[in-house]
Structure 1
Amino acid sequence: MYKIIIDSCGELTEELKADGHYESVPLEMEVNGHRIVDDATFDQQDFLKKVKESPVGPKSSCPSPERYMEAFKGEAEHIYVVTLSKELSGSYNSAVLAKNLYEEEYGKEKKQIYVFNSRSASIGETLIGIRVQECEEAGMEFDKIVEVVEAYIGTQHTYFVLETLETLRKNGRLSNLKAFVANALNIKPVMGSTPEGSICQLAQARGMNKALKKMVEEAISKVDDSGERILAISHCNCPMRAESVKEEIERITKFKKIIIADTAGISSMYANDGGVIIAV
Structure 2
Amino acid sequence: MSYEIVTDSSANLTDEMINKYDINIISLIFRVGEKEFYSYTKGVTTDNKKFYEMMRNGETISTASIDLQLCRKVFEETLKKGKDILYIGFSSALSGSYNAGALIARELQEEYPQRKIIAVDSLSASMGQGLLVYYAAEQMIHGKSIDEVKDWILNNRLNICHWFTVDDLVYLKRGGRISSTTAFVGTTLGIKPIMHVDNEGRLIPVGKVRGRRKSLEALAKQMEDTCINPRSQLVFISHGDCIEDAHTLEKLVRDKLNVKDVIINYVDPVIGAHSGPGTIALFFIGTKR
TM-score by length of 2: 0.89
Greater Cα offset, 182-191 or 268-277: 268-277
* 1:30 matched to 2:31: yes
Could you tell me how far apart the structure 2 residues matched to 1:170 and 1:223 are? 32
Q: Which residue of 2 aligns with 1:11?
A: 12
1:92-112 per-position Cα deviation (integer Å, ceiling 9, x unaligned):
1011101101111121x2x32
1:209-242 per-position Cα deviation (integer Å, ceiling 9, x unaligned):
0011011111231213223332111111111211
* 1:177 matched to 2:181: yes
Structure 1: gaps of 5 or more residues: none
Greater Cα offset, 231-240 or 85-94: 231-240
2:86 maps to which of 43, 62, 80: 80
Q: Which residue of 2 aligns with 1:206?
A: 210
1:167-188 per-position Cα deviation (integer Å, ceiling 9, x unaligned):
1223343322211111100000
SS at match of 1:3: strand
Could you tell me how far apart the structure 1 residues matched to 2:68 and 2:186 are? 40
Letter in 1 for 2:110: E
- 8 Å contact from structure 1 (residues 32, 54) kept in 2: no
Could you tell me how far apart the structure 1 residues matched to 2:257 and 2:54 are? 39
Q: State the shift of 1:31 in Å.
A: 4.0
1:121 maps to which of 113, 120, 125: 125
* 1:258 matched to 2:262: yes
* 1:71 matched to 2:71: no
* 1:168 matched to 2:172: yes
Could you tell me how far apart the structure 2 residues matched to 1:24 and 1:93 are? 16
- 8 Å contact from structure 2 (residues 123, 157) kept in 1: yes
Could you tell me how far apart the structure 2 residues matched to 1:196 and 1:43 are? 32
Q: State the shift of 1:34 in Å.
A: 3.8
Could you tell me how far apart the structure 2 residues matched to 1:174 and 1:273 are? 17
* 1:196 matched to 2:162: no
Structure 2: gaps of 5 or more residues: 285-289
Q: Which residue of 2 aligns with 1:61?
A: 64
* 1:232 matched to 2:236: yes
Q: State the shift of 1:53 in Å.
A: 4.0
Could you tell me how far apart the structure 2 residues matched to 1:181 and 1:67 are? 43
- 8 Å contact from structure 2 (residues 171, 275) kept in 1: no
Q: State the shift of 1:161 in Å.
A: 0.7
| Shift in CA distance, 76/271, structure 1 to aligned 2, threshold 3 Å | farther
Could you tell me how far apart the structure 2 residues matched to 1:43 and 1:122 are? 17
- 8 Å contact from structure 1 (residues 83, 118) kept in 2: yes
- 8 Å contact from structure 1 (residues 31, 54) kept in 2: no
Could you tell me how far apart the structure 2 residues matched to 1:89 and 1:25 are? 14
% identity of equivalent residues:
23
* 1:102 matched to 2:108: yes
Q: Which residue of 2 aligns with 1:246?
A: 250
- 8 Å contact from structure 2 (residues 29, 63) kept in 1: yes
SS at match of 1:195: coil
- 8 Å contact from structure 2 (residues 86, 146) kept in 1: no
- 8 Å contact from structure 2 (residues 239, 267) kept in 1: yes
- 8 Å contact from structure 1 (residues 4, 22) kept in 2: yes
Could you tell me how far apart the structure 2 residues matched to 1:235 and 1:255 are? 19
Could you tell me how far apart the structure 1 residues matched to 2:175 and 2:275 are? 14
Greater Cα offset, 175-184 or 219-228: 219-228
The size of the alignment, in residue pairs, is: 277
